[in-house]
Structure 1
Amino acid sequence: MANKQSIIDGDFPIESKILALIACIGQEQKMEMTRRIKHTGLSLTQLQLLHILSQAPLEGLTINQLKALMVDDSPNVSRAVNKLVDGGYAIKERSETDQRIVHVQITESGELVHVECDKSLMGISLGLSESEVQSLYELLRKM
């Protein structure tokens, strides 16, 4: 856990404190999310890919399409997809019209583990009231 109090007490401009606190809180939340899905053997990148694939058209998406839909830039999309395929959570199929194109699709077990992880992650709370959450959301949208 980051020592947020040292940021709060530090002699920095308020905007620097805000950015540092956002970074600390983001890291803490990422660690909590990782902890909650650890039992599945999935990484957050793999879970994000499953989430995207669960909403994809039936023919699936290419690696470049997956990369474009990722929340954060990950240079390891191809490797993460290969691990999903190895785990039985996704399949890859070559296009019948262009053998260079490979479509990735989620499997039934991929959908099940995706839903299980999402339920676990939805239980994370910021410890704020509903009105505080709404205010924070509105402020963050402006950034």
Structure 2
Amino acid sequence: MTATHPTHGRRTAKHGLATGMMVFAAVMLMIAGILAVMRGIAAIAEDEVFVSTPNYVFAFDLTGWGWIHLALGVVAVLVSMGLFQGSGWARVAGVGIAGLVIIANFLSLPAYPVWSVVMIAMSAFIIWALCTPSRGDA
């Protein structure tokens, strides 16, 4: 009969939580990236989905916003693949790219307001999931 350490179960639970958070962040970042790519393509094609706001301070051409979202989406998908592999660089890059996605969606808020708010919330959850596990647990 072997004695078990009293903290063994807690370490396993913490490790499981850290792993679960990392997978959650990877999946959410992959989805956010794919959706950003699709939004970028739609904006580049100058789809009729987007609203034009004539007096917006951060106004870019719709095609310009499309390229920005397309690039962010591609990088987000690549970083999410690194997260699936458990790479440390991907965790830091994931927080960074999710932050950039928040900024880009805030700045393009008038073009597609509801979707921008959804993407901001989704990116906030990604940042939360990547920052929640402590360094020793991941």
**Larger strand percent:** 1
- Per the normalisation by structure 2, the TM-score is 0.31
- Per the normalisation by structure 1, the TM-score is 0.30
**Larger helix percent:** 2
